Amino acid sequence: MKLKGNVWKFGSNINTDAIIPARYLNVIDPEELAGHCMEDENPQFVKEAKEGDIIVAGTNFGCGSSREHAPIAIKAKGISCVIAKSFARIFYRNAFNMGLPILESADATDGIQNGHEIEVDLVSGEIINKTTGKNYKASPVPPFMQKIIDDGGLMGYIAKRRVFRNE
């Protein structure tokens, strides 16, 4: 599956309080959460990010709390994919569990700037910077995580395989 969109670039250690401030955690409605996504970190993002845009960030994206509201807000904002040098552990699980595509690539993060247009192949992990013409390769999605994606997230996965065989 290929995605194409404009890039919103963020730094390292973008925490879940930046993605969705805790003061808005008294709701679980995705649209309402999306309306505050990244508002303290970059107020322009809430106003101008468009359906299909892509977030590119540094290391440890999504660190901090376990709130699934963070990937929910990003997805509901219409962001098609997040590329980062690395992801915080709970955010990583949450993104797969609720179906937000994420990719790890240090080269892509270094070579892609705010406003660039990029194309991402989620299957091959190939990232093409349409603005500069440069190509990058993301770390492949681990096979187990791919199974969760194929089943439509963790709930689909467990519904399909109530008995899980240990490796």
What is the binding site for other proteins (CB under 8 A)? 13, 15, 17-18, 21-23, 25-28, 40-41, 59-60, 63-69, 71-72, 86, 88-90, 93-94, 97-98, 144, 153-155, 158-159, 162, 164, 166-167
Q: What's the CA gap between 80 and 134, in Å, rounded?
A: 20
Q: What's the CA gap between 27 and 23, in Å, rounded?
A: 10
Q: Structure tokens of 132? A: 């500069």
Q: What's the CA gap between 89 and 16, in Å, rounded?
A: 12
Residue 81 amino acid letter:
C
